[in-house]
Structure 1
Amino acid sequence: MGSVRKASAWLGLVEDHDERYYDDEYADGAESNDAWVTDPRVQVASDTAQDRGRRIATVSPAGFRDARGIGELFRAGVPVIVNLTAMEPDDAKRVVDFTAGLTFGLHGSIERVATRVFLLTPADTQIVTGETMGRGQGGFFNQS
């Protein structure tokens, strides 16, 4: 396969028929043993991450009806990133109120990550910020 064809296939512009890139189990159409199918707006880490306790879910609800899915994930002990940027402001406010009550009731925490994006963490999860100790004291990027 030529380099232009590979690049086009990688970008999804043409179909990639080169079978060597597929995992044998995936190519055979192996079925997963999941008891339930997640909503396509919800992304959860793999089973390996679940075994290690390193799962984080991202949810982009379309309306207040999707708040139940957020609650179920959070009650299961999974940290949830809630992206409300695509919602109407009134529904987004209701979801924020729901998630605030959810985190309060389950002794978790809620933190605003960006405009209309929130991180819900269970009680046993610690949030580590990217702030460095030297930043406020004339760190590496101080150009004065």
Structure 2
Amino acid sequence: MGSVRKASAWLGLVEDNDERYYDDEYAEGDRSSDAWVTDPRVRVASEAAQEEGRRIATVSPDGFRDARAIGELFRDGVPVIMNLTSMEPADAKRVVDFAAGLTFGLRGSIERVATRVFLLTPADTEIVNGEPAGRAQDGFFNQS
């Protein structure tokens, strides 16, 4: 099993079997010269949050063609939560590959939040773990 295949299996995108990774028949969609219109499946915080630099976008793409919205938001410095649960596994793999290249190229990071849900963060964003810093090792409910 190759390293990309192992990584995809670890991310929960594929099962451990011998299927081809990429579909040979990738049809490029119709590229019209119309202006980019925001997809209603993309939700971004209000303008007040935008002015203060506190925006996070959530994107639930249906196919690989929706990767453009992810790339444009991330390129603008907005952290993106990708929910790939409604996608076909082959397209989900391609979107994860696209996002990995995007984060590498722009020096960001990608982190799996849940099965088929990923967080893309730009280089200037710090991810803080939700665990309290001063929590005792014995825990609150230890009654011994």
Q: Same fold (TM over 0.5)?
A: yes
Report the equivalent of 1:75: 75
Change (3 A) 1:141 1:122: farther
Cα distance in 2 between the residues matched to 1:73 and 1:99: 12
Q: How many residues align?
A: 110
Q: Percent identity?
A: 83
Deviations 1:42-81 (A, max 9, x none): 0000100000000000000000000011000000000000
Quote the residue 2:40 is aligned against.
Answer: 40
Partner of 2:125: 125
Per-residue deviation, 1:139: 1.7
Q: Which has the higher helix share?
A: 1
* Gaps in structure 2 of 5+ consecutive residues: 1-34
What is the alpha-carbon distance in structure 2 between the residues aligned to residue 129 and residue 59 of structure 1? 22
CA gap 1:93/1:48 in 2 versus in 1, 3 angstroms: same
Question: Cα deviation per residue 1:73-95 (whole Å; 9 max; x = unaligned)?
Answer: 00000000000000011100000
| 1:103-142 to 2 correspondences below 5 Å | 103-133=103-133, 137-142=137-142
Structure 1: unaligned runs, 5 residues or longer:
1-34
| Larger CA Rg, structure 1 vs 2 | 1
Kindly report structure 1 stretches of 4+ aligned residues shifted beyond 4 Å: none
RCO higher in 1 or 2 (8 Å CA, sep ≥ 6)? 2
Other-structure match for 1:92: 92
Mapped to 2, the partners of 1:40 and 1:130 lie a distance apart of: 30
